[in-house]
Structure 1
């Protein structure tokens, strides 16, 4: 089986015999049921391949679609003039780079359609409108416009150069305004991107795109569904199970916990990250392929400007309006974090019409929280290696080694990072510190934050052989923490559990910034 890793060209994928998940029935629905669309998906989720598929469809390349679902649906296979703009592959931090890129496309098309020399002096929007009109008149068919990663010129400079960010936004406003003036000459328009920027004019006014990013009909248009995984990829799962010396079902569960978990609509259909999954099949190894392929530095910059910590953002319900549109004038990182793929929908409350957002899977949780934690703690010790060792210690029942390591790690956090002026900030730092540590450990174990009948337990870590019930206190005593575990009955539901139960009271000192008292029973 040939895996199309890095292959974004539909024609190459088909002609060279790479495995293809057939989405062409949804492609047919798009092209026959609407005109102007926008789709937001995280990077490396198959957006460029989708755009290439649309391009080949509108070029009438019927032979490429033989045997696919669309083959029995489309009868005409008309050929349309196609304008395909791909904003990938350019460094937009260089002033003038965006306009140069757009003008390069436009001038090459101006040559193709033999536009008069004087039209080449027009502004970007006017020149594009003239091209669309000429293409319609010369071909006898309305034009198709496909724009891939429309927002990359803004993301590249987001929170780096405010002036350049505004310049790019204005350039794109002018360019995309053509969809209003050239409407009669347009057959189909499709834009992809990571983020929906509310201030870009394509999303305001007349004939704005139909945003299908959270449309249930198109939730699996990009990515790999559970059904597609079970239908197409039985062979590599079987092969990986042999390598990992586990059963087929165990291997399937491992892949699910590491790469599944995305949901893009109220239907809550599971979607796997295609980039990581295909890489895992190609290498027969589970690793963090998607996260390692690009560091979300712009998200870290955004988080540094807000007073919100990740524990205050994740695991909460939101209305769709709170995480769909990104407004550059409001320093709220949630929309960017969600649309970039580091959070996803985990539940939908139909009655209240609100969505629960949290990390999609272990790959994203480990990678993103490690990055946030490294930036937050600024420790000498690598957060990656310490978390891994801590998780293994809990898995092996080495609770004293875990305590020693935790104490040492906390002591390594620079004083300036943990110095807080008031009690509320000290409490907040304490809570966020243990949130980051325990959520990261949960990647390697089963971690549960449980609201029990008697109250909320701080942390429960479950491993195959042990259950750890933690109660953390700030400037209290370990005896008080253990007393709370017992009085609240946090361990009662494990009374018939065959695993060994540890109750741990841990006290965090706001003065020293590390563990001051510890009791385990």
Structure 2
């Protein structure tokens, strides 16, 4: 008989509450001890949203407040001998999203007041930087102890406006001003921890803080946020069994599905396999596989940035090898969307070439792939997303049984009924749209414009027992498309796969019908 399960801390980001309620807590306290007792006094960590950063900040707060009783039985219990109590200032900037300059000033006023009130400090100054400096020195003098400063989502006010240069400039100046006392107060500080999604350069926000240690890609901290494969298999073993029973599959099959959907993150290399904690807990709580991380919201800032950089959906996935400066780049100086995709968790590290010092990046897992393309589809066809999902699911089933003809007929009917977003008469728009639709066909490997020895194929779809090589031709015939597959010998690349190779030439009419008009299958 397995024990009654601990409740999942869904929506709870406060360490003390999780421990007092005896909710499920994945023990990250060994990292906390290492971080708090290492060389750097100023530490920065970047991780995607809903990856457990706020809980980490809250755990640091309980630790520095010396609340030993909350850590009973955890790793740090054996490591920490002193449990010195420090005064802790905690600033959560997540409430500063979607704000103009005066609103943001009022928000900073609000979080400063909250901390002043906690330590019974009066301050007549108006400027946020003067008040922060006063707060630190007053608390230091009052308690006779160095102060700990924890800043959660330090970049929240800037994320929404990252694509608007003027607004970004004014808000960035405001935030830089707010953070500036941290350097001059250094002797009065015991530890400063900042966390967020993106890496705004030291130049812009932390020009003051040239002594900050960025642990985001340190191997020692690879598993500090998220749930590692080992933690899943040991600390959540009963949860896996419960899910398997509910889904009527074996434990191994349940692990495989969890891995396909929620695993695949690496924030350095080598790194343990890291699962998305938010999705994993929701999946166990609701006892079904779903796309939880995307929730109801479309990542609007991502779509704005894709427009700004002219990035197409095709360009998001698998990449050639990249230098670390290509994706761990400061947000405001980035020359492509790659750093934002990486820091937001839409792509992650998949491999590393030691000799060349280059990383391979790709979409982490199925949940991200499906969620991302579903949120991009409405930019290409104005359709009810559910209607699109139904068509795509039916196409999936047909392709799975090898019936590409039926799938294309279904697609043709669907495209007849949906209006397009804008009067685009260029091939790229339709190629992107078709790519998104094919990318949403679950369980297949999709490759677009795959480089083969003899050239490029347009879309290759690899299923369990078929390889469909599809060539799209705009305002030409399906035969011409098929001839290109034959002439360039695209199929040779798959000759040894042992799968049935199906060549499909597809003609798309851009000028009149804006639809697939004919196809030839060989």
TM-score surpassing 0.5?
yes
- Mean Cα displacement is larger for which, 303-312 or 269-278? 303-312
Deviation of residue 94 (structure 1)? 5.3
Aligned twin of 1:276: 279
Match of 1:52 among 58, 74, 94: 58
Structure 1's 417 and 215: CA in aligned 2 closer, same or farther, altered over 3 A? farther
| Corresponding position of 1:423 | none
Q: Which residue of 1 aligns with 2:129?
A: 125
Q: Which residue of structure 2 lines up, in the alignment, with residue 517 of structure 1? A: 518
Give the match for residue 445 of structure 1.
Answer: 444
1:399 and 2:382 aligned = no
Residue of structure 1 in register with 2:459 after alignment: 459
Tell me if structure 1 keeps the 8 A contact 2:452–2:493.
Answer: no
Is 1:305–1:331's contact at 8 Å kept on the other side of the alignment?
A: no
Q: Does 1:88 align with 2:94?
A: yes
1:10 to 11, 15, 36: 15
| Match status 1:267 vs 2:264 | no
| Coordinate RMSD, CA, aligned | 2.7
Q: Residue by residue, what CA displacement relative to the aligned partner does 1:88-142 show, whole Å, maximum 9, x if unpaired?
A: 2455425533222222232343345454x5x422521122112212222222221
Ranges in structure 2 where 5+ consecutive residues have no aligned partner? none
Conserved 8 A contact 2:180-2:208? no
SS for the counterpart of 1:88 is helix
Shift of 1:379: 4.8
Partner residue in 1 for 2:84: 78
The reply to whether residue 39 of structure 1 matches residue 45 of structure 2 is: yes
Retained in 1: the 8 A contact 2:348–2:364? yes
- Output the CA distance in 2 between the equivalents of 1:201 and 1:141: 31
The answer (yes or no) to whether the contact 1:388–1:444 under 8 Å persists in 2 is no
After superposition, residues 287-326 of structure 1 pair within 5 angstroms as: 287-316=290-319, 317-326=321-330
Map 1:298-377 to 2 at 5 A.
Answer: 298-316=301-319, 317-328=321-332, 332-377=336-381
1:197 alignment partner in structure 2: 200
Q: Secondary structure at the match of 1:83?
A: strand
Once residues 497 and 354 of structure 1 are traced to their aligned partners in structure 2, the CA distance between those partners, rounded to angstroms, is 28
Report the CA distance shift for 1:203/1:468 in structure 2 as closer, same or farther (over 3 A).
same
Query: How many angstroms apart in 2 are the aligned matches of 1:356 and 1:26?
Result: 27
Aligned with 1:37: secondary structure? Answer: strand
- What is the number of residues matched between the two proteins? 511
1:172 equivalent to 2:178? Answer no
Please, which moves more after superposition, 387-396 or 46-55? 387-396
Contact 1:169/1:200 (CA < 8 Å) preserved in 2?
no
CA 1:389–1:208: 2 relative to 1, 3 Å? farther
Does residue 230 of structure 2 align to residue 250 of structure 1?
no
Matched, 1:28 2:33: yes
Q: Please identify, of 484-493 and 382-391, the stretch whose mean Cα deviation from structure 2 is larger.
A: 484-493
Q: Indicate if the aligned counterparts of 2:146 and 2:190 stay in contact, CA closer than 8 A.
A: yes
Match of 1:470, SS state, is strand
From the superposition, tell whether residues 208 and 383 of structure 1 become closer, same or farther in structure 2 (CA, over 3 Å): farther
Cα distance, 1:489–1:386 mapped onto 2, change above 3 Å: same
Q: Which segments of 5 or more consecutive residues in structure 1 lack a partner in the other structure?
A: 421-425
Distance in 2 between residues matched to 1:452 and 1:329, nearest whole Å: 34
CA distance in 1, matches of 2:237, 2:384: 44
Tell me the secondary structure at the aligned position of residue 440 of structure 2: helix
TM-score, normalised relative to structure 1: 0.90
Provide, for residues 252-294 of structure 1, a one-character-per-residue CA deviation record: whole Å limited to 9, x for no partner: 1111111111110021432110000011011110011111153
- Show CA shifts across 1:181-212 (max 9, x none): 11111110001111112277443345442111
| Deviation of the 1:497 alpha carbon | 7.2
Structure-2-length-normalised TM-score: 0.89
- 2:69 maps to 1:68: no
